[in-house]
Structure 1
Amino acid sequence: MKSTYFKANFNIARKSKKNILLMGALIVFMVFFVLLVGNQNLGDNYRQWQSYYDSLEINISYFNGNLLRKQKYKQTYDNLNAQEGCIASLQNGEVLESPQTYLESSLNLFQTMLDGYQNNYLGASTLNVPPKYQLHQRLVTYKYLYRHHIPPAMSSKVSVTYLIYIVNFIAVLIFFYILLIANDVWMVKLDHETVLRNIPYRVEDEVKGKTMINLVLTLIPLIIGLIGAYLFAGLLNGFRSLNYPNVFYFNKIRAIPIWLDCLIFLFYTAVLVVFVTSLTLLLNQLTKNVYLSTFIGIALYVLSYLPSKLLKAIIWLPSVYLNVNDVLNGTVASKTGFAGLNFATAAVILLIWSLVCVVWFRYLVNKKGAAR
């Protein structure tokens, strides 16, 4: 790849008002969103458990003498009462300021909530019970905390829990950031044809150069945002160890330290940059229109929210793997029923599609050049 050609493209990209605005907005959002989290009490465990406890009491009141004569309804009734007992023990752990007691009670509660699914909570029609896969995620997280004697954080405001919160949040939306950064990746050459006209290049130069530029424009702001988020939340609300766990899926749901989760998130994001850059190069060449390229990219992402039955039919398409959070926490594997759909499998599939896009793009460009 010619360094002169790369520098010319990089200078255009870094001076782009759109790119400057996007990078600045990403960093500012990641760092200062903690203020909203604090004001709105997002991720406040106290309020969440109180809300669930109220839901329990309402649903327990539904069971009358006639229903309790039926074994399956009695099973649900006993389960709901057992959950109430777990929450009472959990609250005692809070009052006594005993982290291990709180964690042990939480583990019992999550397991009891999972047991309630054996008869699908028959009779508790309005109970706000989380889905099974979410309960499994909480179970492995609290087991990790209990095993490593790490006190649980009761909100998302402290340094490490806010870092977990923002990583999970950004992982859902990072595709759109990359798409907006890359949506004019080939159109820029046409817009600045006079600047690049006399600089020799190959299609390979274009692909490698654009990919490297987009990696810089994505990963550098992300790293700055992650570090800034941890430090700013810590200065405001206190620091916690980076060994605090987040949910992660490989061949099963597990919990890993957030520092390792951040590294995996950055790695997968880099793979996503490679794919989106390859895709937008192809779409720009096909459509000659930035907005249409962006719309097609968004449409691909929307497919990831198809119902489970339809999602199973398109697991070979890249759409399934564009929501980074769903890939990393095992939601994709859970929805499709394929245990092997982890971040490594998803990365391989995206790289294969990247190669397909690049080969197609190269063919179209060479065909156009030959026609001239």
Structure 2
Amino acid sequence: MNLTYFKANFTIAHKAKKNILLVSFLIIFSVLFLFVVELQRIGDGVVEWQAYNQSLDINMDYFDNSSLRKKTYRATYNNLSAQKASIALIQNSEVFNSPKDYLQSMTNLNEEMLKGYRTHYRGAYSLVVPPKFELQQRLVTYRYLARHKIPIVMNDKSSATYVIYLLSIFGIFMFFYLLLLAADSWMMNLNHPTLLKNIPYLIHDEIRGKIAINLVLTLVPLIVAVILAYLFAGLRNSFSSLSYPVVFYLNKISAIALWQYFLIFLLYTIAFGIFITCLAMFLNQLLKNVYLTILVGSVVYVLSFLPGKLLRYLCFLPSAYVNIGNVLSGTIAKQTGLSYLNAVSAIVILLLWAGTFALLFRWSVGRAAK
């Protein structure tokens, strides 16, 4: 790589107002969003089980002597009764502030909720039960906590749980952060061809240089934002272990430590950044308009909202992997019914598309130069 050319481009990029605004917003949002979590009581276990308890009471009233004579209805009623018993234990653990009992009671409750699916909750017509996949995700987290003897945190405002929630948000919007960051890649060369004419470079210098610049402007702020968020949440509320579990999917649902998850998140972001930079450079060479590049790039994201039955036939496209959280948690594998769609396959597909767009970009530039 031509270091002189890279340094010139990096100086321009990190001083650009748009990039300064993006980086600043990422860091400030990471810290201040904690107040929203606190005010809205996001992830508050007490709020969740209290609301579910009310739904249980309503649905248990649907059963009468006539319906209980039916085997499936009676099985559902017994299951709801077992859930009520678990919730009573959760209430006790709240009163006595016992995280260990709370964890065991929450584990029992989620196991009973899963058992309820065997009878399809027949008779409990309005019971709002989380999907089976979500219950399985919760259970692997609870079992990880019990196995490693880590105290459960009953909200999303402690240091580790806040970072976990924050990463789930970053997973949704990282695509747009990278797209806005990379949207003007190569445009300077198109609009101001004489600006860097005294610095000789090759096309592969441009591609590798822009990738490196965009990754630096993504990874460094992301790491800083997460560290500040962890410290701020810890100082304001309480510190929790970096070994706190996060749901992770490879070939099956499991849980890994937060610090491991964050490393995988960064690795995925690198592949993501390479893909989006190559896409943006090709689109800018083709369309020669930043706003059209953002518009076309957004279409890639919109396709990710297609139903799982359709998305499974488009799994070779990058659209299926634009939500980092959905890929790492196994949600995309569940939606499409394709168990091999995980972080590894997603990274491979993103890099293959990145290579394709890089080749198309080089071909397009070479053709325009003739």
Fold shared, TM-score > 0.5 on shorter chain? yes
Mapped to 2, the partners of 1:292 and 1:117 lie a distance apart of 47
Number of the residue aligned with 1:189:
189
Superposed counterparts of 1:169-188, under 5 Å: 169-188=169-188
Mapped to 1, the partners of 2:367 and 2:306 lie a distance apart of 36
In the alignment, is residue 67 of structure 1 matched against residue 67 of structure 2? Answer: yes
Mapped to 1, the partners of 2:55 and 2:3 lie a distance apart of 63
Give the deviation of 1:321 after TM superposition: 0.7
The letter of the residue matching 1:260 is: Q
The letter of the residue matching 1:57 is: D
Secondary structure of 1:31's counterpart equals helix
Mapped to 2, the partners of 1:263 and 1:148 lie a distance apart of 20
Give the deviation of 1:198 after TM superposition: 2.5
Map Cα deviations across residues 50-96 of structure 1 (whole Å, 9 max, x no partner).
01100111111122233222222222222111111111122222333
Mapped to 2, the partners of 1:17 and 1:192 lie a distance apart of 18
Moved more, 281-290 or 323-332: 281-290
Give the deviation of 1:241 after TM superposition: 1.3
Map Cα deviations across residues 222-265 of structure 1 (whole Å, 9 max, x no partner).
00000000001111112111111111111111111111111111
Secondary structure of 1:193's counterpart equals coil
Structure 2: gaps (5+ residues): none
Secondary structure of 2:194's counterpart equals helix
Question: Do 2:275 and 2:351's aligned partners in 1 also have CA atoms closer than 8 Å?
Answer: yes
Number of the residue aligned with 1:161:
161
Q: Please, what TM-score do these two structures have when normalized by structure 2?
A: 0.97
Q: Percent identity?
A: 53
Mapped to 1, the partners of 2:277 and 2:54 lie a distance apart of 49
Number of the residue aligned with 1:291:
291
Instruction: Give the aligned length.
Output: 370
Map Cα deviations across residues 204-229 of structure 1 (whole Å, 9 max, x no partner).
01100000000011101100000000
The letter of the residue matching 2:272 is: L
Number of the residue aligned with 2:145:
145
Number of the residue aligned with 1:362:
362
Give the deviation of 1:9 after TM superposition: 1.1
Question: How large is the RMSD of aligned CA atoms in angstroms?
Answer: 1.2
Secondary structure of 2:255's counterpart equals strand
Superposed counterparts of 1:232-271, under 5 Å: 232-271=232-271
Structure 1: gaps (5+ residues): none
Mapped to 2, the partners of 1:275 and 1:294 lie a distance apart of 14
Mapped to 2, the partners of 1:168 and 1:241 lie a distance apart of 18
Mapped to 2, the partners of 1:30 and 1:196 lie a distance apart of 36
Mapped to 1, the partners of 2:83 and 2:305 lie a distance apart of 32
Map Cα deviations across residues 309-343 of structure 1 (whole Å, 9 max, x no partner).
10111111111011000001110111111211110
- Aligned structure 1 segments of 4 or more residues deviating by more than 6 angstroms: none
Number of the residue aligned with 1:331:
331
Number of the residue aligned with 2:222:
222
Number of the residue aligned with 1:119:
119
The letter of the residue matching 1:46 is: V
Number of the residue aligned with 1:107:
107
Q: Please, what TM-score do these two structures have when normalized by structure 1?
A: 0.97
In the alignment, is residue 136 of structure 1 matched against residue 166 of structure 2? Answer: no
Question: Do 2:99 and 2:153's aligned partners in 1 also have CA atoms closer than 8 Å?
Answer: no
Number of the residue aligned with 1:80:
80
Moved more, 80-89 or 133-142: 80-89
Question: Do 2:190 and 2:288's aligned partners in 1 also have CA atoms closer than 8 Å?
Answer: no
Secondary structure of 2:37's counterpart equals helix
Mapped to 2, the partners of 1:111 and 1:274 lie a distance apart of 42
